[in-house]
Structure 1
Amino acid sequence: MRDGESERGAGLTGFRRLTWWTVPGTTVCLLVLFYGEWVLDPDVPALARVPVALALVVDAVVGAALLGRPLSPSAAADGVHPPRPPRHVLVVLVAATVVLAALPLARRAYELWAVAPAVTTAVCATFLRPSHRRALLAGAVLLAMLPGAAVSLAAGDGEFAYAALFPAGLVAFTAWTVLGPLWAWNIAGRLDRARRLEAELAVRDERLRFAADLHDIQGHHLQVIALKSELAARLVERDPARAAAEMREVQQLSADALRDTRAVVRGYRRTTLDDEIANAGKVLAAAGIDTRTSLEPAAPAGDMADGTRHLLGLVVREATTNVLRHSRARYAEIDHRITGDRARLRVANDGADEYPGAGDGTGLTSLAERLRAAGGELTWHRDGDRFEVTATLPLGRADAPPETLKEVAR
């Protein structure tokens, strides 16, 4: 998404325009208003008015350009402080500021001479880090007391307090009025970037969930297909009929895998806990694993939320795949029961030869995160060659899987 489109979507275009008129626009107007009156004053000698007029043009143009840099789309998109301007630009700005300060100060215009230095200080502060910015502003406020006080003492005009305090207050006030709106704009830009980042993370998270589901489906089906194909190859000579039956099951499993993959892509597929438990028993039995299934629901089936069934079905599928892929099991047990307001599922097997959670797929770690987000828990532990996976979920709190990638991206 382009920066302009993002700003329009977040309503920042009007805020950018308001900030521009508040900071660069108002600053230029104040410079012209204060110094313009002095330049047009016939009591001021022409030798002083002409340099001030030229310096006013330079200071207004350069100052507006520099104050507009933090409002540029590139600075807003990067989310960092704008790069410091070239040194020669700062030299020109400081030279014009010196002219605008020295000539009015020479005529004891205590209310005028500090306007340009105050603006220049605020401009330079916009390009500094917060700690350096505070040091610059504190130093500028203290330093602003000295020129007017010195001139007042030398002239003996009795305006020492005014000449010392008014410029210092002017520097502080100018910094506040310039940096305040820019700070607000920076915060708005950060919030907009956070909003866009949240949307991107939601899309990536959904892609990861999609990849996890696809891995579960393809890994499960392909593991069973490979197992049955190997069995059919061993039976083809001594028992052709059974080998043909096994290959027909392989054909059916391939069709199921294709159907399930298409369903996942469309975002419609959901696991059914009862079907997953039944399929797990059949698959493990086909692999020669003695499997015992224990179902002891203590509540009506309708009390369990669809999201809970879906997540527990994923656990059954992943645990079954791990038994086939990461063990030499001779015995397996699937236990599902409802106690109070929580559903509990336990899958155990012997012959474990490695840690399933450290495999090459998303595995149990990914499922643990999903169950934790749904208010449940997924744990696994190994005791010798026995491996056990236990999942618990609240009956009615587990949310359905998040919206599809297309819906999140929208």
Structure 2
Amino acid sequence: MADGTGLLSLRRYTWWTLTGAVVSVLVIFAGGWVVRGDAPAWSRLLGGAALAVSTVAGVALLRRRLAGGARAHATPRGWLAAAAAGSAVAGALQLGSGEYGRWAVAPAITVAVAATFRPARGQRWLLGGATAAAAVPGTVVALLAGDGGPLYAALFPAGLVLFTGWTTLGPLWAWDVAGRLHEARRLAAELAVKDERLRFAADLHDIQGHHLQVIALKSELAARLAEADPARAAGEMREVRRLASDALQETRALVQGYRRTTLEEEISNATRVLAAADIDARMDLATAPAELSATGRHLLGLVMREATTNVLRHSRAARADVRLLVDGGRAHLRVRNDGAAPAAGGAPGTGLAALAERLVAAGGELTWRRDGERFEVAATLPVGAP
């Protein structure tokens, strides 16, 4: 999964959850003061404009944060300044009209969004300082007004900052963890490929290095004996030819063993890979493939590998069904998945087309079809395929 089907879904869920919560809280709790009739019209108009600026800036900041991660981009200072200015104006107007609790909604959200761009230690310092600072304005205004509510004016804004920070940073923390796990999985896959290449290179070096070294020594000896002892030189060259033939055969055997695949291995690998991609893989292996020839296992294994690759690359599948049975002297393999992406130009992939030619040459058949969001690959092959 390039982006990862589950990771993409988590990103969408996180985006809509956070932006929906931010907009709802600002509109319902902070915006309720704007439509209240006892505040001056100019104050409500200015406060509404400030809340609108704070809301738009907060949504833009969250979008940037989810798009690039905590440290992928520098903090967008322009949006942050707009959010801070809007929330400060809206909060000051509401506090001046006696809203000792509701005035802190917009500033608390701005602080929480700003904290998402900070490292863990910076988040704690920012939230801690904002919590302590949030208790001061309401307390001062309440004491000057003498309305008897300084305790509420001190505790509610402070608690609101902590609660907003917790509810905002929690989903983003989960998103960051999922992103790091996805990247770790990608790196693990790349390392596995590199390890396999190194293993193959080491095996090839062991075969070729030994034979080439001996061939070089015997060729040098034969060159020295060409005039003094032609018969022995001819014998050494015959030995060189034998060594070259052995090296060629062993190299071919290594490549064949490296590239050879079996149906059992590919089904086992598909089970692990699909499960790692959060795809519910259902395996219906009613008949063991023991009756299949080695060629049949190899060809159906290639089909299984290609079908699994298509599920991962070209779909957002939640479920895949694999069925294998032997009936009437023929083996039938079917791989079906949901979440298929729309066809690009209507042309089948070159991998399936090439496999179809190989199965036809072995007396079998490979077909694939799309039905809405469902995609199915079906292969049939004689049990004793040559």
Structure 2 length normalisation: TM-score?
A: 0.65
Deviation at 1:43, TM superposition (A): 1.8
Aligned pairs for 1:114-153 (under 5 A) are 114-153=104-143
Pairing 1:231–2:221 present = yes
Structure 2 partner of 1:44: 39
- Contact preservation (8 Å) 2:222, 2:234: yes
Amino acid at match of 2:153: A
- Of stretches 108-117 and 175-184 in structure 1, the one that deviates more from structure 2 is 108-117
Aligned pairs for 1:151-230 (under 5 A) are 151-230=141-220
Amino acid at match of 2:211: H
Where do 4+ consecutive residues of structure 1 move more than 4 Å? none
C-alpha distance in structure 1 between counterparts of 2:258 and 2:242, whole Å: 21
Deviation at 1:86, TM superposition (A): 3.7
- Of stretches 178-187 and 47-56 in structure 1, the one that deviates more from structure 2 is 47-56
Deviation at 1:215, TM superposition (A): 1.4
| Aligned residues between the structures | 263
Residue 50 of structure 2, aligned match among 47, 52, 55: 55
1:6 aligns to what SS in structure 2?
coil
C-alpha RMSD of the superposition? 2.0
C-alpha distance in structure 1 between counterparts of 2:136 and 2:235, whole Å: 100
Residue 86 of structure 2, aligned match among 77, 84, 96: 96
Deviation at 1:212, TM superposition (A): 1.1
Residue 15 of structure 1, aligned match among 7, 10, 13: 10
Amino acid at match of 2:3: S
- Contact preservation (8 Å) 1:25, 1:64: no
1:6–1:30 Cα change, 3 Å: same
- Contact preservation (8 Å) 1:148, 1:164: yes
Deviation at 1:35, TM superposition (A): 2.3
C-alpha distance in structure 2 between counterparts of 1:104 and 1:194, whole Å: 48
Structure 2 partner of 1:397: none
**Mind listing any 5+ residue stretches in structure 1 that lack a counterpart?**
270-406
Deviation at 1:268, TM superposition (A): 4.2
**Mind listing any 5+ residue stretches in structure 2 that lack a counterpart?**
260-304, 310-386
Pairing 1:256–2:253 present = no
Structure 2 partner of 1:362: none
1:57 aligns to what SS in structure 2?
helix
Deviation at 1:233, TM superposition (A): 1.5
Amino acid at match of 1:136: L
Structure 2 partner of 1:6: 3
- Contact preservation (8 Å) 2:132, 2:158: yes
- Contact preservation (8 Å) 2:61, 2:76: no
What does the per-residue CA deviation read over 1:290-340, in whole Å, with 9 as the maximum and x for residues that have no partner? xxxxxxxxxxxxxxxxxxxxxxxxxxxxxxxxxxxxxxxxxxxxxxxxxxx
Amino acid at match of 2:193: V
- Contact preservation (8 Å) 2:61, 2:79: no
- Contact preservation (8 Å) 1:125, 1:136: yes
C-alpha distance in structure 1 between counterparts of 2:74 and 2:98, whole Å: 34
Residue 65 of structure 2, aligned match among 70, 74, 97: 70
